[in-house]
Amino acid sequence: MSVNKTEQYAAKKLDSDQLAESIKRHLQQSLGVDQEEAGPAEYWEALSLVVRELGLDLIRKTRHKERDEKARRVYYLSLEFLVGRLLGNNLHNLGIYHQAEEAMANLGVNLTDVLEHETDPALGNGGLGRLAACFMDSLTTLDLPAFGYGINYRFGLFKQGFAGGKQTESPDAWREESCPWGIERPKRKQRIKLYGRVTERAGKAAWEDTQEILGMPWDVPVTGYGTDTVNTLRLWESRAAEGFDLSSFDEGRYQESRSGEIQAENVSQVLYPNDNHPAGKELRLIQQYFFVACSIADLIARYKRENGDNWDGFAEKVAIQLNDTHPAIAVPELMRILMDEEDIVFSKALSICREVFAYTNHTLLPEALEKWPQNLINKVLPRHMQIIHMINYHFLHTEVEAQWPGDNNMKRRLSIIEEPERPGGQQMVRMAYLSVVGSHKVNGVAALHTSLVKSSLFPEFNEMWPDKLVNVTNGVTPRRWVDYCNPELALLIDETIGKVGEVDWRKDLTRLDAINAYADDPAFQKKFAAIKRNNKVRFAAEVKELCNVEISPDAIFDVQIKRLHEYKRQQLNLLHIMALYRRLLENPDLDVPQRVFIFAAKAAPGYKVAKTIIHAINRVAERVNNDRRIKDKLKVVFLPNYRVSLAEKIIPAADVSEQISTAGFEASGTGNMKFALNGALTVGTLDGANVEIAEEVGDDNIFIFGLTVEEVAELRHRGYNPKDVYDSNAELKAVIDWLASGDLCPEEPDAFRPLVDSLLGGDYFLTLADYQSYSDAQDKIVETWKKPELWWKTAITNSASMGKFSSDRSITDYAKTIWNMA
Ligand code: TH1
């Protein structure tokens, strides 16, 4: 599709005068304020209402078109959609950003200020939730009929603050600010069951004595770039199924009459704040079932409205993608409906499930693989537990038996139910196995990750079903992650590789490759460097405001922003910073460029070592930033409350991107792609998508260090002792001793013990093993920085080589290899 379509589309939309009129109308008629009283917040709301009108109109038209075409739809089930702010992005996608800018200017308001008034919905933890949001953008941009299904949490991911350098958490009551994007759809509400027991009636299972809750859908319109298609993100909110008990109301017992309601409302109350680690709580299981059951009932109702009651056509019209195992209970839920409500026999029900479901695995971390106690599932969802046993029985005794006849050991290993290791232990339901058995395709999220899924996580499944496990490398939407967050770079790309008449690079990111021809061009380098500098100047002002630290835009901005997790190794970065500081103290006249190390990260509230790392970084930052002796050569900032809208400001300003996870632990990473796209140089391990990024940019344009997956395995096999490294590396020993000494936190000298103990007592993530190699890679970065022509050539090559990492490519891969839609 060409950009011309976008321009025609934009042109036929409102011009700036019409937009200004609509804004004024909403100010007065929707918000009830006069133009003179309105501030940026009111203007934000009024413009959002204008865009919402456009979105609703297009959603209706999209629905009609899809109904007529009767195409297959994809349903993306995810407990997290980290959508970020929507107004600016929607304006871009609809092609009316510049008109809106002009309209606001004519009203005497600055659009950029207005956009800052949107609260950033934090309905996800990190990469997995953000990926779901990028995928919704790409599905729509590619005109694929799609629904996202998730939960409309009342509280998103907690807000982070610091007290004495330690993380504090407070609730994110994001909906208390106005949110015009979600539209309540009472007509589509669902009623779901929990608890109770299963009895047999006339040879059929009946699930009885249940408690019921209501699911109210909230629809968020999802715009795409340069298209009239608008898809729906349908987020469920839980409500009590019973209304007021009027008799107790009459008797004045108002509070009691609502007591049943409070519990039901709890279900969609709060997002669990664990990334790569399950909470294992009953309420979490109920959340999972609640949104799955509402979504499956909703999509079945849609199927029946459009196609009648004939189940033979179901799989042709419906593809359901499970975003990790969090929605895995969808498999027994669909089985239950097919068998108990639609009278379909088990074997046929299972084959329908297997045509419909596909499962994406996002992690190999053993502790992150979800397992639920059988007893808990049996209590909350007794019928589902029976069905899981039926699936397991069929799987083990028909399919595993056919592959490995008589091999009981194999049956035990592959069973969906894990038997306890010790007597008295619990039986656990392996949700990943349930997902694999219930799906026709299982994908990993980067080439290396998928090969490890095949070789280490599910080797037997791969042997049984050689075509089931496939790779779909992650991607990011270039609309949000270049066009919207780095408009000057977007403009430079337009000027350089053309816009009108060609396919827009925003729709075909491989077109960026044409920029490679300019990597050496001094004039282009100058423009590229100037844009980076402007972004750094703007970001430095932000840092001053948020952290009260002055940073120079001429320094190297070296950035690590992502969840705080030991496997992501923020502690490796920290140890190196401490070493740099010591080098400078030893020799304050060292001829080195100025460097600023920038962090942002939230730690799960219950993750002790992660919180210790945050505390330690903040204490080192305070020390370094206030030490006159080092003459501003080194600065460290930790920005509080990392979220999408902060990432949008940091990434365009980054020179160096830290992607330093222990090899084999980061399934893909997606921040790595965003940084490279915006011209930052990566220092990284051969992990996740870094491997493919290195392939695309070439080994000379990336700073790879550290042990490979094979070397990690080898070292563990030989026996790794972090103390050996500590004893043999004087610099490393000195910084660890310093950390342990209490000098950085005199009022609590043992504050960093958990970190020191984790490093010296086992160092599971091989931080010390990779230290020297990391430090050497950092030295090479400095050498490159000293040669500006080489630096900018490398930076430009990175941007220009990111074509593969558009989420449009990922979604096209899913559509072809998994959903049979393209
Ligand atoms: C992340 C992975 O850690 C990351 O490597 C990957 O790029 C991203 O998913 C998208 O594929 C994961 N996030 C979560 C969150 C939870 C559980 C498991 C994972 S894996 C709650």
- Taking the centre of ligand 1 as the mean of its atom positions, its distance from the CA of residue 303, in whole angstroms, is 31
pLDDT of residue 203: 86
Ligand 1 atom closest to the CA of 689, numbered from 1? 7
Picking from 734, 664, 672, the residue whose alpha carbon sits closest to that of residue 706 is 664
Helix ranges (H only) for 85-226 are: 87-94, 97-106, 111-115, 127-141
Give the integer Cα–Cα distance in Å for 159 and 605.
11
pLDDT of residue 443: 99
Picking from 270, 225, 233, 217, the residue whose alpha carbon sits closest to that of residue 76 is 233
Picking from 571, 552, 570, the residue whose alpha carbon sits closest to that of residue 560 is 570
**Given pLDDT bands bounded at 50, 70 and 90, which one contains residue 562?**
very high
Phi/psi of residue 144, nearest 5 degrees? -90, 135
**Given pLDDT bands bounded at 50, 70 and 90, which one contains residue 632?**
very high
- Taking the centre of ligand 1 as the mean of its atom positions, its distance from the CA of residue 71, in whole angstroms, is 31
Token pair for 625: 């930033």
Phi/psi of residue 342, nearest 5 degrees? -115, 5
Claim to verify: residue 435 and residue 301 sit in the same structural domain = yes
What tens digit of pLDDT does each residue of 266-284 get?
999 999 999 999 998 999 9
Claim to verify: residue 735 and residue 592 sit in the same structural domain = yes
List the catalytic residues.
Answer: 362, 562-563, 568, 670, 674
Q: How many domains does the chain have?
A: 2
Give the integer Cα–Cα distance in Å for 172 and 123.
10
Claim to verify: residue 438 and residue 566 sit in the same structural domain = no
Claim to verify: residue 543 and residue 460 sit in the same structural domain = no
* Average pLDDT taken over every residue of the chain: 95
The set of protein residues with a Cβ atom below 6 angstroms from ligand 1 is 125-128, 131, 274-276, 324, 362-363, 368, 445, 474, 666-670, 688
Ligand 1 atom closest to the CA of 669, numbered from 1? 7
Residue 744 covered by a domain: yes
**CA 423 and chain centroid, separation:** 39
Claim to verify: residue 588 and residue 714 sit in the same structural domain = yes
pLDDT of residue 498: 84
**Given pLDDT bands bounded at 50, 70 and 90, which one contains residue 813?**
very high
pTM of the model: 0.97
Has residue 97 got a pLDDT over 90? yes
pLDDT of residue 258: 52
- Taking the centre of ligand 1 as the mean of its atom positions, its distance from the CA of residue 363, in whole angstroms, is 6
Is residue 685 within 8 Å of 660, Cβ to Cβ?
Answer: yes
Claim to verify: residue 325 and residue 466 sit in the same structural domain = yes
Residue found under tokens 């919180």: 611
Has residue 311 got a pLDDT over 70? yes
Residue 423 covered by a domain: yes
**Given pLDDT bands bounded at 50, 70 and 90, which one contains residue 262?**
very low
What tens digit of pLDDT does each residue of 459-513 get?
999 999 999 999 999 999 999 999 999 999 999 999 999 866 679 999 999 999 9
Nearest CA to ligand 1 atom 13: 128
Claim to verify: residue 682 and residue 571 sit in the same structural domain = yes
Has residue 681 got a pLDDT over 50? yes
Give the integer Cα–Cα distance in Å for 750 and 128.
35
- Taking the centre of ligand 1 as the mean of its atom positions, its distance from the CA of residue 564, in whole angstroms, is 13
Claim to verify: residue 437 and residue 563 sit in the same structural domain = no
Arithmetic mean of pLDDT, 712-723: 98
Percent of the chain having pLDDT more than 70?
96
Pocket-testing residue among 80, 363, 449, ligand 1, by greatest number of atoms within 8 A of Cβ: 363
Q: Which of 150-154, 245-249, 654-658 is predicted least confidently?
A: 245-249
What tens digit of pLDDT does each residue of 417-437 get?
999 999 999 999 999 999 999
Q: Which domain holds residue 662?
A: 539-784
**Given pLDDT bands bounded at 50, 70 and 90, which one contains residue 250?**
low
CB atoms within 10 A of CB 181: 22
Give the integer Cα–Cα distance in Å for 119 and 121.
6
Picking from 554, 505, 517, 506, the residue whose alpha carbon sits closest to that of residue 532 is 554
pLDDT of residue 7: 47
- Taking the centre of ligand 1 as the mean of its atom positions, its distance from the CA of residue 127, in whole angstroms, is 5
pLDDT of residue 627: 97
Has residue 247 got a pLDDT over 80? no
Give the integer Cα–Cα distance in Å for 166 and 92.
38
Give the integer Cα–Cα distance in Å for 576 and 749.
21
Residue 244 covered by a domain: yes
Arithmetic mean of pLDDT, 14-25: 95
Percent of the chain having pLDDT more than 90?
93
Claim to verify: residue 198 and residue 343 sit in the same structural domain = yes
pLDDT of residue 500: 62
Q: Is the ipTM of this complex over 0.85?
A: yes
Token pair for 555: 């320094």
What tens digit of pLDDT does each residue of 610-625 get?
999 999 999 999 999 9
Give the integer Cα–Cα distance in Å for 102 and 788.
38
Give the integer Cα–Cα distance in Å for 771 and 752.
19
Residue 468 covered by a domain: yes
Residue found under tokens 């066009």: 483
Q: Which of 69-73, 387-391, 438-442, 783-787 is predicted least confidently?
A: 69-73
Q: Is 495 helix (H, G, I), strand (E, B) or coil?
A: helix
Q: Is 578 helix (H, G, I), strand (E, B) or coil?
A: helix
Phi/psi of residue 143, nearest 5 degrees? 60, 30
Residue 674 covered by a domain: yes
Is residue 62 within 8 Å of 231, Cβ to Cβ?
Answer: yes
Residue 91 covered by a domain: no
For strand 318-323 and strand 204-208, is the pairing parallel, antiparallel, or unpaired?
unpaired
Residue 414 covered by a domain: yes
Q: The domain that contains 151 carries what CATH number? A: 3.40.50.2000
Claim to verify: residue 439 and residue 562 sit in the same structural domain = no
What tens digit of pLDDT does each residue of 407-417 get?
999 999 999 99
Claim to verify: residue 468 and residue 559 sit in the same structural domain = no
Pocket-testing residue among 123, 322, 362, 561, ligand 1, by greatest number of atoms within 8 A of Cβ: 362
Has residue 675 got a pLDDT over 80? yes
**Given pLDDT bands bounded at 50, 70 and 90, which one contains residue 263?**
confident
Claim to verify: residue 455 and residue 560 sit in the same structural domain = no
pLDDT of residue 502: 79
Residue 74 covered by a domain: yes
What tens digit of pLDDT does each residue of 127-174 get?
999 999 999 999 999 999 999 999 999 999 999 999 999 999 999 999
Give the integer Cα–Cα distance in Å for 230 and 221.
6
